[in-house]
Structure 1
Amino acid sequence: MAGLNLLPWREKAREEKKKQFFTLVGVSAALAAVGVFAAHLLMQNAMDYQNERNQLLTNEITQLDKQIKEIDELDKTRQALLDRMQIIEDLQSTRPAIVHLFDEMVNALPKGMYLLHLKQDGTTVQLEGKAESYARVSSYMNRLDASSWLSSSNLNIISTDDKAKQKDDDILLRDFKLDVKQLLRQGQEEEAKDVTSNTAGKPANTK
């Protein structure tokens, strides 16, 4: 037994262990590479899927933006049509106003006075004329206020014209200027008063 040499066996075992070690290292490296590659593929697939979803959402948002613009254009067109319809309706409803304006002013004019000038600024009508007395001017204003097409008469000035006399009676004529508001619709003032009174008389809601 003393002459038995174990060095070749030990050397062979050492070489065998080295081979096993390097084999394990190689297999581990290969498995690690496969794992990294698989993880990369999974991550890439997840990113591609998310990019597809993002692109789909972007396309849908673009379509919605186009639809919103179309809706805005339709709303503008609708509002323009409504405005035109309102203008036409106003013109239709106020068409007889000018006729009634002259009728009411002529019918309300008492004897002993006449008009010289008439000027309209919006719904305000400015009148200038001559009258035999203050009472006739006052009567004329009351008749104008009683009209369903006129209201809110306001006397601006009244003065005596010493040069203007009637031929027969030599009565001094008085110059007058007054304003009166034209109602574009018959009974417009009464409707406004009714709405105001109904709103004022309505009890407040209490909780």
Structure 2
Amino acid sequence: MLAVNLLPWRMQRRQRRRQQSFTLLGCTLLLTGFMVLALWWRGSGVLRQQQQALAEISQQHDALRQQLALQQSLLQQRDGLLQAQLIRQQQKDEHQRWQHFWQQLPTLLPDTLWLHRVERRQGILLLEGQAQSMLAVQHFRQQLLMQPLFARVKPGSVQRQGDGHYRFTLRARVRENVGE
């Protein structure tokens, strides 16, 4: 009988299997490493893109904030200019109303009434004069009351002079915001 030693064959087979297992394990580890590396590379690319997008958005946000500050500054300037224009227009309108009143004043005076003094101070127009009758003073007061420039007209004092004339004082309160 022949004796066959199968041990070296089994050892070789075991070594081949072990070698195949190590090769398979190495390939698996290598493939896993490549996959991790590829995913890391892709993730870093996405992260870089997101950082760039965030930087662009931040720049746009800063630019918009600067534009908003500039716009608010311009709006404040515009409001200031509009306010100044409104004040100038009100002054112009008031000047025109007074000019119209001064031009119209001679027609408001009765023939028997004369003015000696006209003074304007702090919203009151003080009119001092002389008239031949009380009726002329009352008529002149009524004429002043009909003017849109005055809120009210009060008689200050009326004195009868020795020559029969009346010396009078009228206080006309100027109406505020006539144009409104």
Cα deviation, 1:33-85, whole Å, max 9, x if unaligned, reads: 11101000000000001111111222222223333333334334444444444
Aligned residue for 1:181?
A: 174
Match of 2:16 in 1: 16
1:27 is matched with 27
CA-CA distance at 1:176 after TM superposition? 5.1
How big is the shift at 1:134? 5.8
Alpha carbons 1:112, 1:136 under 8 Å: kept? yes
> What letter matches 1:118 in structure 2?
E
**RMSD between aligned residues:** 3.6
Structure 1 residues 92, 119: CA separation in 2 closer, same or farther (over 3 Å shift)?
A: closer
SS in 1 for 2:19: helix
* Equivalent-residue separation in structure 2 for 1:114 and 1:89 (angstroms): 31
Task: Give the superposition deviation at 1:107.
Answer: 4.3
Following superposition, the deviation at residue 17 of structure 1 comes to 1.2
Equivalences, count: 178
Identity of aligned residues (%): 20
- Report if aligned partners of 2:150, 2:174 keep a CA contact under 8 Å in 1: yes
2:128–2:168 contact (8 Å) kept in structure 1: yes
What is the CA–CA distance in structure 1 between the aligned matches of 2:74 and 2:157, rounded to whole Å?
A: 60
Runs of 5+ unmatched residues, structure 2: none
* Aligned pairs for 1:88-127 within 5 A: 88-105=88-105, 107-110=107-110, 111=112, 118-121=119-122, 124-127=123-126
| TM-score, L = length of structure 2 | 0.72
Between the aligned partners of 2:157 and 2:42, the Cα distance in structure 1 is 102
State how far apart, in whole Å, the 1-side matches of 2:108 and 2:80 are. 41
CA contact (8 A) 2:137 2:168 kept: no
| Cα contact 1:141–1:153 (8 A) shared by 2 | no
How far, CA to CA, are the matches of 2:169 and 2:95 in structure 1? 29
State the alpha-carbon separation in 2 of the partners of residues 90 and 112 from structure 1: 33
Worse overlay, 57-66 or 102-111? 102-111
Identify the match of residue 166 of structure 1 among 153, 161, 164: 161
Which whole-Å CA distance do the structure 1 matches of 2:127 and 2:91 have between them?
A: 28
Amino acid at match of 2:50: Q
> Kindly tell me: are residues 183 and 134 of structure 1, through their superposed partners in 2, closer, same or farther at Cα, counting changes over 3 Å?
farther
Equivalent residue, structure 2, for 1:150:
149
Superposition deviation, residue 9 in structure 1: 1.6
Q: What SS does the aligned partner of 1:179 have?
A: strand
1:131/1:175 contact within 8 Å kept: yes
- Quote the offset at 1:22 in angstroms: 1.1
Describe the superposition over 1:113-162 as per-residue Cα deviations: whole angstroms up to 9, x where unpaired. Answer: 756563332xx324364777764443222111333x5343242x6566xx
TM-score, normalising length: structure 1: 0.64
